[in-house]
Structure 1
Amino acid sequence: MSAKLWTDVDAYVVDKLMPADAVMEASLRANAAGGLPAIDVSPAQGKLLHLLVRMSGARRVLEIGTLGGYSTIWMARALPANGELVTLEFEPVHAAVAKGNIETAGLSGKVDIRVGKAADLLPVLAAENQTPFDFIFIDADKPSNPIYLDWALKLSRPGTVIVCDNVIRDGAVIRANSGDANVDGARSAFDFFASHPQVTATAIQTVGAKGYDGFAIGILG
């Protein structure tokens, strides 16, 4: 199985199941023009997040790691008219590009972009005493996964879905002493889900345009 085959199959999936989308294509162009790294979820993965938000019946979504807002748009589109998505981004330049993309998508009324270190912003969210989040997507710096997952649990309710991206790392997740902080962060996600009896979880390995990786998915309660 070659990376080219994975990419070709991804292209087939997109061609068959995902009609051309000028807004999403424009957002990727804006990301590139803004100098953002091309580490967005793939179109097929973005639509998977969209479907997971819809299937969970989520009204409030938390995203940790906005980048240029590509995944943000996919999830915000899945929300009902009264839905809300709060997304946290450390880099002001990334947040500015995301803001433009979200405005172009006509979703500014549903998306609240907060700029700063997520470890600092998450306690602020908790202190606001808002309704718990129904769906949480974590796709930020991997070494901080334990912090993000701990706060995700605090900001959840029974039934909340938590998705953590990039947990397979080309299979390196099985290496206990890899010396790679990103791999350690992926392993910490599995440790988190395994150590909380109130969370039921699994993982999906993915191959495609983004290489070999995967999502950990858990539900509270």
Structure 2
Amino acid sequence: MTSTVFLQRIADLYDEFKQHDARQSDRLRRYRNIEAESAKLLGMLVRTQHSQHILEIGTSTGYSTLWLAEAAKSVSAKVQTLEINAFRSAQAKKYAEEFDLEAYIDFWVGDAADYLTESVEQFDLILLDAERGSYVSYWHDLKRLLKPTGGTLIIDNVISHTAEVKPLLELIKQDENFMSTILPVGAGLCMVVVK
């Protein structure tokens, strides 16, 4: 069960991240973390599915990573998180240590495309929350890495950045092996599962 201490600490961290983003005029300087309700839903999915292998594409400063790891702890699972920016990944690792969740997270720094191409592990849950221009190029590997039974892909920002994610959503709709739906939570989540 999510502890009251975790909920308070994560709420404070979320406020800190939001204040930081509000001060930045350059989009790339913002942390651009997932919305609080979306992060909570991810934690719930890990618990209900008993996800053992979790992949996060786009760590940023680790807000969603902490939610995933806190849920992973409750089901004895592990989170693999990918981030291209080494400084951001280091920040996320520091927060994971502060929350005493670092044992449940493997941090990987580099281009997600490289990781996805080389990985052979299959995942129960994949969160895609990175640079949206790369999403279409990820699709082939995402399909391969998603566990065929019960695997779930969650894509963030499908309502807030509709035009940017539309090419990927169209690819998914055309693929007869998958079904998807849009969840009006946070900035909009698309949930994708194998048929």
TM-score range, shorter chain: 0.7 to 0.9
Tell me the alpha carbon deviations over residues 164-191 of structure 1, each in whole angstroms, 9 at most, x when there is no partner.
Answer: 0111236xx3xxxxxxxxx2x3102211
CA contact (8 A) 2:14 2:36 kept: no
Partners of 1:30 and 1:48 in 2: CA distance: 19
Backbone CA RMSD of aligned residues: 2.6
Question: Paired residues, what number?
Answer: 183
1:81 CA displacement = 5.0
Are residues 105 and 148 of structure 1, via their aligned partners in 2, closer, same or farther at CA, if it must alter by over 3 Å?
Answer: farther
Confirm whether residue 149 of structure 1 aligns to residue 139 of structure 2: yes
Structure 1 unaligned regions, length at least 5: 1-16, 174-182, 208-212
Aligned pairs for 1:184-203 within 5 A: 185-203=164-182
1:200 CA displacement = 1.4
Structure 2 unaligned regions, length at least 5: none
Residue identity (%) = 27
Partners of 2:43 and 2:75 in 1: CA distance: 15
Aligned pairs for 1:67-78 within 5 A: 67-78=60-71
> Paired residue for 1:8?
none
Task: Report SS of the residue matched to 1:114.
Answer: strand
CA contact (8 A) 1:53 1:75 kept: yes
TM-score for both structures, normalised by structure 2: 0.83
1:19 CA displacement = 8.3
Structure of higher CA gyration radius: 1
CA contact (8 A) 2:17 2:31 kept: no
Work out which of the residue numbers 85, 97, 101 in structure 2 matches 1:103. Answer: 97
> Paired residue for 2:36?
43
1:24 CA displacement = 4.8
